[in-house]
Structure 1
Amino acid sequence: METPQVEATQVVIAGGGPVGLWLAAELRLNNISVTVLEVRTEIDQRSKALTVHPRGVEVLASRGIHQRFLDESLRISNGHFANLSNRLDFSVLDTPFPYTLFITQARTEALFEEYARGLGATIRRGHRVTGFTEHAHSVTVQVEGPQGPYEIEAEYIAGCDGTRSTVREAGGIDFPGTPSTCLGWLGDVLLDNPPAPGFNRFNEHGGLMVVPLPDNQWRVVGTSPDSVTAEWPGDLTMDELRQKAIDIAGDDFGMRAPSWLSRFGNATRLATRYRRGRVVLAGDAAHQHFPTGGVGMNVGFQDAFNLGWKLAATIDGWASDGLLDSYHSDRYPVGEQLMEHSRAQTYLFHAFTPEGLALRDLLSRMVPESRQFSDFLAGRLTALDVAYPSTDPTAHPVTGTRAPDLPLTGSESSLFGALRANSYVLLDLTADGVLADRAQERITVQGGAPDRTRGAWQDVRAALIRPDGHVAWAWTEEDDTKLGAQVDAVITTVLGR
């Protein structure tokens, strides 16, 4: 038998969907060589995801590629929790992008692939990771390609290969959770008599949403009492979809010519470790859930946003102790919250009894009547409230939170434009720019004015912002000499020097 050829790269990414592609781009921004292996030969046009939420747009803006998405998307200034009648108001959120972008996953994936390739990522379609062998300082990845098997020697392997992840299973990482007990259904169809924009209906017969897609198609998606089952009823048919729409809305809207009919379950699982040795997981390989609120893809590429710079810093040797392990400690709680909220919404999506409908009505009324309740749900849905709490009890309250897009006084007009994948930003909010001379490799200094509009930031005189836009540390010291010494000590720690 002919010996498989062996290639070399620093990171192999299994899975070329949005998560794997974003991770590849983050690594290339750090000059890490990366090979993405995707079993599909072309982008799947049947888009599971249709939205990029506000924090997702901030992530794009932090790498300077958001305008392309803004130009191609419909902006929607609200969102829903379990399809309650009253929607969450995103326009009041503290972000430059107080809206959801409506864009198909297929288009998002195409833009991410173009971005990653432009940065020098190697992306191979029609190539499947079949396994790997982990060594003390490397992994040997087995691949099946169009021309036969071959191997790649890498420093790390990233599993971005979905809920049935080969990487997760080969890495011996458990994926506990609960099996599917109910089903949703969808059809991408043409409609001769489409409803008004934003149509949704929920009653004892089921829940139904109808949203426009490109090429004059419409997505008809919903749940129904007969879908509360652990048994697979067979593939969805056009006649069944039409009847469900009639039962719930009294109209099939002239639906015809389906391009995709599908069912999906509520199996809910969370990987016990996001990192084990030279194996890391992101996206659906790490968490599986009912697709409520359109958050899955967003959480996935935000996993990659957290992981990319940490993995690169570890490979390049400038990471502080435990930095790569902090990927799990940062993102695993986000996965737990994702499980909690998707389960809660799944219950409400299937609340067809009189008691369930009463609960839905009560929660729906609370959305406009309680700003605190509405903002809480919106913060979770949009991921704007994600924070990575510090283990230091003396840390300032903004430590670990997502930094807002603060105005700057230098060449960059605001913080998001100043963020880089390969360095921290030191925000000098002193009146006289006393920290300007702290710039060095991996540290850029940006000046700004104290933020008097946000309570938590009013006393902050300096802050160190991570490459993913979260606050690594913040200082309030009024004495400039002491402030400089405190800043120097933290920089030495975070740079592992």
Structure 2
Amino acid sequence: MGTGVIIAGAGPVGLMLAGELRLNGVDVVVYEQRATPSGESRGVGFTRRAAEVFHQRGLLARFGDIEIGNEGHFGGVRIDFTALEDNHFGIRGVPQYRIEEILEAWVTDLGVDVRRGYEVVDYREGSDDITVVVEGPDGRAEHTARYLVGCDGGRSRIRKLAGIEFPGREATRGMYVADVVDRPDIKPRVIGERVDGGMVMAIRLEEGVTRIIIHPAKLTPRDNSKLTFSEIADSWQELTGQSLHGAETKWVSAFTNATRQAAEYRRGRVLLSGDSTHIHIPAGAQGLSVGVQDAVNLGWKLAATVNGWAPEGLLDTYQAERHPVGEKLLRNTLAQASLYLTGDEMEPMRQVMRELVQSPDAARRLAGHVSGLGIRYDMGGATGHPLLGLRMPDREVKLGDGSTTRVSRLLHPARGVLVVADGSTGPAKLAAGWSDRIDIVTDAGWSDRVDIVPDGWVPADTAEGTTPDAVLLRPDGHVAWVSPDGGELLDALARWFGSPR
């Protein structure tokens, strides 16, 4: 069969998924309804974990000089990230359209077929394949593949065609956004500022462009299609006293706090990823960042299924692992909105939160929610080591020939990695039968401790660091096995990489 996977949607999530699949040898076609990139940008950066994910595929350098955010907060309550064990600061000032440009260039280099001006309008699912109906410049056509993935946003047509429910909360609040050109006099308000009558935010988006976000407390959800910048300028002046009337803009929009999550991330040969699975009020680029992590979690599992070596139930772990992450995302964005966008009646709660974040455990817990570093997956009952299920920090690895590399570089091919750092040969011999699916690095060593970022349920004293003897990493960078005290290596290999060749 010519095509392994069809992806609907060429946003950051769809493109990231396409790259993951192609790195694993799967033929991919991406259909995008827009004939040309929109140039619009709801997101203006990404979280620390999303930055690590990009770095694991060698993509972070493509962003050029990036600005690391120097302030951390949860719903406007400041957190001293510098006092924590790991770097939770995210990347800011990178508009979503720039992320899409970089990812599209990457997947095109990999040989992914991105077809713009085409919309998936229907499908027929068979026992071994799925036939997709596409409308494009030349009318209707059909395309058959093994799987279809909807990465087509919060109004996902694929989700609706599949009959997947999208329960949640209706919108109760509205916000304005505008990208204003050549107004250096706009005061930076990077994490937002509560003012009489609402909240305002201002972020430098790129040279000469400032993103402003406004939440007038009296603003209710409205029809975005009739929005004018004059209305936005009125609200900005009312809340800040500054007139932006007559300014040039690149983009204006409005959004709400509607919060929903797909009940299923997979139904048969149809899967969902990114905003098609979860929508929420914007908060620190968490939506885009979680969507990129959805794609990296799904990519290698779907590729393993298409390529025929996936162990039973591997594809189902996508739902099992990512649906709870989506639930936490919605919960924490709702909590942040309550802290951030409400009036003086919430001030006692804000004060309590300010006191709580002085505790390292509380600060670490909240920072992990925002940065994505606190995500821990169930590794099949194996317990005993605090690294199990967490992402592997990007530590330097000393190789036997005297050279060095880093964990992120070892993950560039999107394969599993076994790093043996205690000089033993046993783990490498056990894993030899899986060498077509994992890279085995022997006679290695850690240049420094491997820090552990707990997710809030792990005692704080485990955050002091560890020097594991050997570590098995999944392609998404999460620790599937660790020695000592991390279970049986053969069990982990079989669970995540199937039967030996």
TM-score by length of 2: 0.89
8 A Cα contact 1:190 1:255, kept in partner: no
Separation (CA, whole Å) in 1 of partners of 2:169 and 2:109: 40
8 A Cα contact 2:184 2:208, kept in partner: no
Residues 1:443 and 2:443 aligned together: no
Partner of 1:208: 200
Q: Between the two proteins, what is the percent identity of the paired residues?
A: 35
8 A Cα contact 2:450 2:467, kept in partner: no
Separation (CA, whole Å) in 1 of partners of 2:470 and 2:224: 59
Segments of 5+ residues of structure 2 without an aligned counterpart are: 452-461
Measure how far apart 1:30 and its partner are. 0.7
Cα gap change, 1:114/1:230 in structure 2, threshold over 3 Å: closer, same or farther? closer
Cα gap change, 1:267/1:52 in structure 2, threshold over 3 Å: closer, same or farther? same
Partner of 1:356: 346
8 A Cα contact 1:159 1:279, kept in partner: yes
8 A Cα contact 2:34 2:116, kept in partner: yes
Measure how far apart 1:91 and its partner are. 7.9
Residues 1:226 and 2:218 aligned together: yes
Cα gap change, 1:423/1:266 in structure 2, threshold over 3 Å: closer, same or farther? same
Measure how far apart 1:443 and its partner are. 2.1
Residues 1:408 and 2:401 aligned together: no
Q: What amino acid is the match of 2:69?
A: I
Cα gap change, 1:218/1:87 in structure 2, threshold over 3 Å: closer, same or farther? farther
Residues 1:419 and 2:411 aligned together: yes
Measure how far apart 1:256 and its partner are. 1.0
Partner of 2:377: 388
Measure how far apart 1:493 and its partner are. 4.4
Separation (CA, whole Å) in 1 of partners of 2:303 and 2:52: 21
Separation (CA, whole Å) in 2 of partners of 1:322 and 1:208: 47
Separation (CA, whole Å) in 2 of partners of 1:487 and 1:78: 40
Separation (CA, whole Å) in 1 of partners of 2:162 and 2:420: 43
Measure how far apart 1:234 and its partner are. 7.5
Measure how far apart 1:362 and its partner are. 4.5
8 A Cα contact 1:178 1:269, kept in partner: yes
After alignment, is 203-212 or 139-148 more displaced? 203-212
Deviation by residue 1:117-145 (Cα, 9 ceiling, x = unmatched): 00000000000000101111000000001
After alignment, is 206-215 or 355-364 more displaced? 355-364
Aligned length in residues:
479
8 A Cα contact 1:72 1:103, kept in partner: no
Segments of 5+ residues of structure 1 without an aligned counterpart are: 1-6
Residues 1:323 and 2:321 aligned together: no
Selected match of 1:121 from 93, 112, 125: 112
After alignment, is 56-65 or 423-432 more displaced? 423-432
After alignment, is 53-62 or 18-27 more displaced? 53-62
Separation (CA, whole Å) in 2 of partners of 1:28 and 1:233: 37
Q: What amino acid is the match of 2:101?
A: A
Separation (CA, whole Å) in 2 of partners of 1:115 and 1:99: 22
What's the secondary structure of 1:130's corresponding residue?
Answer: strand
Q: Map 1:157-176 onto structure 2 (within 5 A).
A: 157-176=148-167
Partner of 1:469: 477
Measure how far apart 1:88 and its partner are. 4.9
Q: What amino acid is the match of 1:59?
A: V
Partner of 2:31: 37
Partner of 1:372: 361
Measure how far apart 1:397 and its partner are. 3.2
Residues 1:76 and 2:66 aligned together: no
Cα gap change, 1:309/1:207 in structure 2, threshold over 3 Å: closer, same or farther? same
Measure how far apart 1:337 and its partner are. 0.3
Q: What amino acid is the match of 1:449?
A: G
Measure how far apart 1:64 and its partner are. 1.2
What's the secondary structure of 2:247's corresponding residue?
Answer: strand
Separation (CA, whole Å) in 1 of partners of 2:404 and 2:116: 38
Separation (CA, whole Å) in 1 of partners of 2:369 and 2:304: 29
Q: What amino acid is the match of 2:396?
A: P
Deviation by residue 1:47-102 (Cα, 9 ceiling, x = unmatched): 11011211111111111121112x14322233332234x3553684525x844242
Separation (CA, whole Å) in 2 of partners of 1:406 and 1:257: 45
Partner of 2:387: 398
Partner of 1:3: none
Cα gap change, 1:250/1:263 in structure 2, threshold over 3 Å: closer, same or farther? same
Cα gap change, 1:104/1:90 in structure 2, threshold over 3 Å: closer, same or farther? farther
Q: Map 1:6-405 onto structure 2 (within 5 A).
A: 8-69=2-63, 71-84=64-77, 86=78, 88-89=80-81, 92=84, 94-95=86-87, 98-190=89-181, 192=183, 194-198=185-189, 200-227=192-219, 229=220, 232=223, 235-252=226-243, 256-352=247-343, 354-364=344-354, 366-367=356-357, 369-392=358-381, 394=383, 396-405=385-394
Cα gap change, 1:245/1:87 in structure 2, threshold over 3 Å: closer, same or farther? farther
Measure how far apart 1:459 and its partner are. 6.8
What's the secondary structure of 1:245's corresponding residue?
Answer: helix
8 A Cα contact 1:194 1:253, kept in partner: no
What's the secondary structure of 2:206's corresponding residue?
Answer: coil
What's the secondary structure of 1:131's corresponding residue?
Answer: strand
Separation (CA, whole Å) in 2 of partners of 1:233 and 1:133: 34
Q: What amino acid is the match of 1:9?
A: T
Measure how far apart 1:273 and its partner are. 1.0
Separation (CA, whole Å) in 1 of partners of 2:145 and 2:491: 34
Q: What amino acid is the match of 1:399?
A: L
Partner of 1:4: none
Deviation by residue 1:167-216 (Cα, 9 ceiling, x = unmatched): 11111211111111111111212354523434542133110011112251
Measure how far apart 1:19 and its partner are. 0.5
Measure how far apart 1:257 and its partner are. 1.6
8 A Cα contact 2:8 2:120, kept in partner: yes
8 A Cα contact 1:173 1:273, kept in partner: yes
What's the secondary structure of 1:186's corresponding residue?
Answer: strand
Deviation by residue 1:382-410 (Cα, 9 ceiling, x = unmatched): 10111112341545332211111233222
After alignment, is 131-140 or 410-419 more displaced? 410-419
Separation (CA, whole Å) in 2 of partners of 1:296 and 1:223: 19
Separation (CA, whole Å) in 1 of partners of 2:472 and 2:58: 20
What's the secondary structure of 1:491's corresponding residue?
Answer: helix
